[in-house]
């Protein structure tokens, strides 16, 4: 059945709307590259921590600019449903703390 607000499979909208513009920015491309390099030969526990950081930044990242909430995460940018949820009252937006983010369940 069709679910136009979300698709669990990798899709061209997610890649184009979410990742292409982000990875054209060298700092984001470098972050993704460094996460990949850090995972090589790492323990399963450390890889899980890297995955959590990747998820809460590159995939689902939001930030504040003044009082405005801004979205940069590819999963949110490529989904109308995720955008609506993100700007609703339900999610709790927290400052980025890598020690906490690395062990946060998602």
* Residue 19 falls in the annotated catalytic set: yes
In 3D space, the residue among 29, 31, 13, 25 whose CA is nearest the CA of residue 74 turns out to be 13
* Residue 78 falls in the annotated catalytic set: yes
Q: Which of 78, 79, 82, 93 is catalytic?
A: 78
- Distance, in Å, from the CA atom of 37 to the CA atom of 21, rounded to the nearest integer, reads 22
* Residue 33 falls in the annotated catalytic set: no
Q: Which of 2, 9, 14, 82 is catalytic?
A: 14
Q: Which of 59, 65, 79, 92 is catalytic?
A: 59
* Residue 2 falls in the annotated catalytic set: no
Does residue 30 contact residue 82 with C-beta atoms inside 8 Å? no
Q: Which of 19, 25, 39, 79 is catalytic?
A: 19
- Which of 28-33's residues contact partners 24+ apart within 8 Å by CB, and which partners? 28/58, 31/57, 31/58, 32/58
Residues labelled catalytic: 14, 19, 59, 78
């Amino acid at each position: 059945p069709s679910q136009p607000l979300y698709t669990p499979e990798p899709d061209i909208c997610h890649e184009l709307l979410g990742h292409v513009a982000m990875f054209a920015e060298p700092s984001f491309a470098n972050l993704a590259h460094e996460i990949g390099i850090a995972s090589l030969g790492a323990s399963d526990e450390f890889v899980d921590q890297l995955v959590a950081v990747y998820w809460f930044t590159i995939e689902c990242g939001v930030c504040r600019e003044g009082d405005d909430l801004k979205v940069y995460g590819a999963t949110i940018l490529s989904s109308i449903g995720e955008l609506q949820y993100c700007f609703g009252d339900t999610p709790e937006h927290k400052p980025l703390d890598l020690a906490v983010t690395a062990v946060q369940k998602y």
